[in-house]
Amino acid sequence: MAVRLVHCRDIHRAYRLLHARNGLLGWWPGRTRLEIIVGAILTQNTAWTNVEKAIRALRAARLLSLRGLRSAGLPELEEAIRPSGYFRQKARKLKAFLTCLDDDFGGRLNRMARPATPELRERLLAIWGIGPETADSVLLYAFNRRTFVVDTYTKRVACRHGWIRPNPSYDDLQALFSRHLPEDVPLYNDYHAQMVWVGKHYCRTKPQCEGCPLKPLLLGRPPEA
């Protein structure tokens, strides 16, 4: 299992390298639990700068509250979140979350925070519009659960560095990081933030390894596709 040991070390080392470069990135951008959840939905397949515009518009329209989201009409919601893209889909997704919250948790986020992590994850995944990444983002950043969030960047970094076989599933990737990292919520929080950072700046669809803090991990090899 020499191969796996190398990857285990690299997963730690990658974090140390990124943290040395960036310090703690201080996620999640969101003032309240609800705002974090809304952001997690709006950021699907979308750059965060566009999400910020949508969040600002929601706040300006007084829609960034449970009451506001509940009472908002779909067109009103769509108009506000337009900058985040897929606005018709995402307006329905926000409504779907509210419906679940109201029907299953008495409309209280505090009550949604009660179930153990595996059950809460199932409940979130059952909501239309919430897939694995969004569910795990909500668990980690809104409910402080020790849940590793896998996104496109994390997948790219892991594959290009040969930490996992090509075309891994979401669950395989999550298991890889969960196995190798200590059980530490702040670490999971910052690890994901660092992956997003390195994905945006270096591990893009076209790799830009020059200047990347993770370049030493490649040992001179080219990154795998």
Binding site for DNA (CB under 7 A): 43-47, 49-50, 53, 82-89, 127-135, 151-153, 199-200, 204-206
Shortest gap between Cβ of 5 and DNA (angstroms)?
A: 29
Shortest gap between Cβ of 57 and DNA (angstroms)?
A: 10
Q: Are 151 and 113 in contact (CB under 8 A)?
A: no
**Helix ranges restricted to H, the chain:** 2-22, 33-42, 48-60, 66-71, 74-81, 87-105, 109-112, 117-125, 132-137, 152-160, 170-180, 185-201
Tell me the residue type at 58. L
Shortest gap between Cβ of 6 and DNA (angstroms)?
A: 26
Shortest gap between Cβ of 39 and DNA (angstroms)?
A: 12
**Closest to DNA by CB, 65 or 82:** 82
**Closest to DNA by CB, 6 or 79:** 79
**Closest to DNA by CB, 71 or 208:** 208
**Closest to DNA by CB, 125 or 185:** 125
**Helix 33-42 crosses helix 87-105 at what angle (to 10 degrees)?**
140
Four-point Cα dihedral 176, 179, 180, 186, nearest 10:
100
**Closest to DNA by CB, 50 or 144:** 50
Sign of CA dihedral 154, 160, 162, 168: positive
What residue has token string 């893009």?
204
Shortest gap between Cβ of 114 and DNA (angstroms)?
A: 22
